[in-house]
Structure 1
Amino acid sequence: MTFFKALQRDSWVKPFLRHYKKTLWLAIFLGILTFICASGLMFISGYLITKSATPPENILLVYVPIVLTRAFGIFRPLLHYLERLTSHNWVFKMTSEFRKKMYDSLEQDAVFFNNKYRLGDILGLLSEDVAHIQNLYLRTLFPFFTVCGLYVFISLGLGIISPLFALWMLVLYGLLVVALPLWSVLVNGARQEYEKKVKNSLYLDLTDNVLGVADWIFSERTGDYIKRHEENEAKLLDAQAKMRKFERKRDLVGQLIFLAIILSVLVWATNRFGGSQSEASNWIAAFVLCVFPMADAFMPLSNAAQETNVYLDSIERLNKLPQPKESQKISQVITEPLTLKISGVTFAYSDGHRDILQGINLTLTPKEKLAILGRSGSGKSTLASLIRGDLVPTKGQITLNGIDVTEFGDEIAKYIGVIHQTPYLFNTTIVNNVRLGNEAASDQEVWDVLKRVGLEKLIKKLPQGLETMVDEAGLRFSGGERHRLALARILLKDAPIIILDEPTVGLDPITERALVKTFMEVLQDKTLIWITHHLQGVDQMDKIIFIEDGEIVLQGSPAKLSQNKRYQKLKQIDEGY
């Protein structure tokens, strides 16, 4: 009941059921026909075998059963194949859109990803939960609806022949449809839910600990880590062993119920057709044999039902994600030069107790260079996210040539490029990594931007040049080289406004100075917003602002601020005097 209540509130699973309902019903109908053909094949085969065992006076007496046997024999695998093809095609189409919806949902919070989600949670969503939603359709909903259709078909079919016997079959099959699945949900369902929680815990611990393995080693606590991991793994194995033990017991009970069904059909058929000795064995064999294929339909239902608790957890986790917003594209044509205006911007998180930014006013003219300084947590990166339109101000507005930046959607990348602290390089070729800025760029254009960022000679020395593979996360290159490759992407994109979000953090002083020099030379014809927490190189900017506790406390040109005592003191501290 909890599972169905969760489905009532669900906004992730039900929409796909409605969207592809015709294909869904077709798959269920084909599934029902498959089992009907399987039973029909056994029914006719039983009749044909016993009829052929008694010497017929004419071959025509068994000609019709022979034709029907061939028909059912052909249609059973054909319908089964079509049912599998239809159901899996439906599920794969659904899950592809499902994954896209989930990625779009997570992308909305990508700016604050590390603050809201742990890596283990994301791995759980991407691997466990999507797989469980896929299994929800393939292993639970499809079999359940198919069995319900067969249950109705068997009850109505036998009801026409013998109402009392149909009522008895209704009870026996009801044990397989209701009693055994309910037993499985109550006993093994809770264990499966516990198993999933332990798995999610292992995801969290493993990812967090692997990423922080150096801390375990330096603190000489590797034994504690291994011990804790082994304890969690032992809990998982123990839960799985208990589940397998219960499943063996439950399957035995199910097989005994099927034995009761077979014996009941045997007794009924004997009483029904025993009066005509010449035909009795034919019909008895036919009715008894047609029961056997039903085991393939009814027996897996209990195992599918117990997994609803696992699906419940996945559905609840997915429904906690925000609904993705439809991508908005601006209809107006924006042409350079571009003026960025920040008017009375205040921002606070929905669960925050204070404003991160308060009343920020700023105008950035074309090709102007702005440095935004402040301590960590002062709101610098939040302001960058607001400028990009990734966040919406609580109050105020940020416009680009008079148009609110939030209206651009993904198109904002055409006008504003960003280089982060740790630019990511993908495990593909150098040229593919650089072409992320412009997929249509030629090799010559790629070489041109690599030359501008000072990487041409380095890349040409590599054995395969542009086709050299970049290791995962760009580990083949140093920090400064990764930033230069990211700059090459931006240049290839040719966005008029560039945000440098603390790109020199973690670099040694020599690399930092060289990188800053490259930025200033290469981006001299761009509007530049440089977010940093220290003053190295800011004298080359046109304007400097200091943000403290969400407010601008100092602003002006480097020459003007050099006369300010507070600026002088900050610069002395930054330079180590």
Structure 2
Amino acid sequence: MKQLKHDTWVKPYMTKYKGLLALILVLGLVTFICGGALMFTSGYLISKAATKPENILLIYVPVVLVRAFGIGRPVFRYIERLTSHNWVLKVTSDLRKRLYQTLAKDAAFFQQHFKTGDILGILADDLGHLQNLYLRTIFPTLISWLLYVIIVIALGLFNWFFALAIALLLAIIIFILPLVSVAVLGARVERHKQLQQELYTDMTDDVLGLSDWVVSGRQADFLARPQPTLKAARQNTVTTRHFEWRRDFLIQLIFGVVVVVLMIWTNQQFTTNQSLANWIAAFVLCLFPLVDAFAPVSQGVEEWPLYMSSVARLNHLQPVTRELPTQQTLSQPVAMIDFQQIDFKYAPELPQILQHFNLHIAAGEKVAILGPSGTGKTTLLDLLLGELEPQAGQVTINQVPIAALQQQRAQLIGMLDQKPFLFNTTVLNNIRLGNLAASDEAIMAALQAVELGPLMQRLPAGANTVVEEAGARFSGGEQQRLALARILIQDAPIILLDEPTVGLDPITEKALLNTIFNVLADKTVIWVTHHLQGVEHADQVIFLEHGQIVMQGSPHELYRTNERFRKLYQLDQGL
């Protein structure tokens, strides 16, 4: 319960949609009441009909009630399901919107503090767990508690001592066993999750290194490596299932005891005459539908630790709010970009990424930034975007700190990264995201500039063709060209390229780079790349290592004077 004390992802929606929640509980309660009433009137009808009444009118009322409750139970059940799923869809929609806004608001912060897998886990698993938290735990538990109170009060009208006995027996099912389930299965659920993560890691490493296993002739080791983890996971699952079988058997056994107790009590209360004896079957039979109300409580609560883990992860998504300085607007065209004495590390305990880093970029210059992974290439781009703040020094445009230009950032900086996102809408709409005021003619001109004009002519609806989810209709090179057209429409003076040709074949890569630098000839371009393909397009090449610039100059000059650069270039070209 500690996770819910300061929760901002579950409790607020209980209040926001409290009217709908009340309706769900009422409908769920009425569903089980109809089920019990159906068996109650059926039991009375059977007993009364067995005494051969002189007139059908003597059993007409129970006949009508059997029909009414028989129809009412599935109808209310169906409405309750619709209402509860409507609740979940509303809440999930709010949660997804909130999660997107939280992540989009400070993307760089989350890249620093969360692994990509953690974010994907939140998107794929945690929101799904919250759906189950409502549908499988909160709603059934609240309904069972309400029904429990009603049953005890109803029996108390006849005999409070008997009502107390039934209350104690049912309390074992809806209070004691759920608590035992959480205590016993909590560690096993966490263990199962841990084993799944270990298995995922091992299998990923094995598959990515498959060629090494084959070359080394260790096929048997490859097959045997995941077996211990698989065996442990299987054993954990079997142990969990055995506990659930024993618990469910105990629930049925307790219900059997309740039925026997109810039969004994009714025989004592309603056997003084034949008219009263007709109520015995009614009271006993009405108990059986209530199994469906009480039994699922333990099953829903057993995954409580998993739900709380998801709640904790969501509540942990609290980025630090940055206080931006007074915002300014550049009145002059961009003339220079400066990194001045930059010191940066992602956390105090982590190594320094940039140290006393200085770089001056003139307007219209094309700068290629190279270096091993982890040397700060992409970090430089995030610093220029203002997504990250250095611990020392500052990044400026025309001597104005980038932090003071955040409101104008979209007009100053465009970016083409490794996997630009294309939405499931038309080509025109995807390109227009760069400038909502752009005309169709301007967009078509941009598509022509990035050499997609012939492709548009071949598409079924031209530029009105839907690109499909994540741009699935187009190849990787075509997706990058569409994103490049979006940048042209944006018309920002500074363009950042974050390894836009990763995953493309050499021919496509070369053609795309030629197009990029051709259409961006009048822009200031900062290009992060992992190899030297197309480096001749750059005016200046910078090689980062240990937070410092270890090589800098034009590609022609470096090839002529720097032995290391020459070897790297020849290796990259296959010379």
Fold similarity call, TM over 0.5: yes
Q: How does 1:488-507 map to 2 (within 5 A)?
A: 488-503=485-500
Greater Cα shift, 209-218 or 16-25: 209-218
SS in structure 2 at match of 1:161? coil
Aligned counterparts of 1:332 and 1:269: Cα–Cα separation in 2:
83
Of 378, 382, 386, the residue aligned with 1:381 is 378
Tell me if 1:448 matches 2:432: no
Aligned counterparts of 1:103 and 1:327: Cα–Cα separation in 2:
21
Tell me if 1:528 matches 2:513: no
Q: Which residue of 1 aligns with 2:92?
A: 95
Contact conserved, 1:270 with 1:280, CA < 8 A, in 2? Answer: no
Contact conserved, 2:560 with 2:566, CA < 8 A, in 1? Answer: no
Q: Which residue of 2 aligns with 1:178?
A: 175
1:37 shift after superposition: 2.4
SS in structure 2 at match of 1:280? helix
Tell me if 1:256 matches 2:253: yes
Contact conserved, 2:376 with 2:544, CA < 8 A, in 1? Answer: yes
Q: Give the partner amino acid of 1:7.
A: L
Contact conserved, 2:497 with 2:526, CA < 8 A, in 1? Answer: yes
1:273 shift after superposition: 1.8
Q: Normalising by structure 2, report the TM-score.
A: 0.81
Q: Give the partner amino acid of 2:20.
A: T
Aligned counterparts of 2:169 and 2:429: Cα–Cα separation in 1:
63
SS in structure 2 at match of 1:337? coil
Percentage identity across paired residues of the two chains:
45
Instruction: Report Cα offsets for 1:470-527 as digits up to 9, x if no partner.
Output: 8988797476x65444322322333332112344668788776655443332112333
Contact conserved, 1:327 with 1:409, CA < 8 A, in 2? Answer: no
1:309 shift after superposition: 2.7
SS in structure 1 at match of 2:414? strand
Q: Which residue of 1 aligns with 2:364?
A: 368
Aligned counterparts of 2:295 and 2:99: Cα–Cα separation in 1:
34
SS in structure 2 at match of 1:82? helix
Q: Normalising by structure 1, report the TM-score.
A: 0.80
SS in structure 1 at match of 2:496? strand
Q: How does 1:161-240 map to 2 (within 5 A)?
A: 161-211=158-208, 213-240=210-237
Tell me if 1:311 matches 2:311: no
Alpha-carbon distance change, 442 to 253 in structure 1, aligned in 2, over 3 angstroms: same
Which runs of 5 or more residues in structure 2 are unaligned? none
Contact conserved, 2:28 with 2:80, CA < 8 A, in 1? Answer: yes
> What RMSD, in angstroms, separates the aligned Cα atoms of the two structures?
4.4
Contact conserved, 2:108 with 2:388, CA < 8 A, in 1? Answer: no
Aligned counterparts of 2:320 and 2:86: Cα–Cα separation in 1:
25
Q: How does 1:393-408 map to 2 (within 5 A)?
A: 393-398=390-395, 405=402
Alpha-carbon distance change, 193 to 357 in structure 1, aligned in 2, over 3 angstroms: closer
Q: Which residue of 1 aligns with 2:150?
A: 153
Alpha-carbon distance change, 332 to 281 in structure 1, aligned in 2, over 3 angstroms: farther
Alpha-carbon distance change, 199 to 542 in structure 1, aligned in 2, over 3 angstroms: closer
Aligned counterparts of 1:456 and 1:98: Cα–Cα separation in 2:
40
Greater Cα shift, 355-364 or 189-198: 355-364
Count matched residues: 566
Contact conserved, 2:329 with 2:408, CA < 8 A, in 1? Answer: no
Contact conserved, 1:124 with 1:200, CA < 8 A, in 2? Answer: no
Q: How does 1:35-434 map to 2 (within 5 A)?
A: 35-56=32-53, 61-106=58-103, 108-109=106-107, 113=111, 116-117=114-115, 119=117, 121-122=118-119, 124-211=121-208, 213-275=210-272, 277-323=273-319, 337-338=333-334, 345-358=342-355, 367-371=363-367, 373=369, 375-376=371-372, 377-398=374-395, 405=402, 412-421=409-418
Aligned counterparts of 2:428 and 2:218: Cα–Cα separation in 1:
43
Aligned counterparts of 2:204 and 2:430: Cα–Cα separation in 1:
26
Alpha-carbon distance change, 395 to 24 in structure 1, aligned in 2, over 3 angstroms: farther
Which runs of 5 or more residues in structure 1 are unaligned? none
Contact conserved, 2:416 with 2:496, CA < 8 A, in 1? Answer: yes
Greater Cα shift, 43-52 or 288-297: 43-52
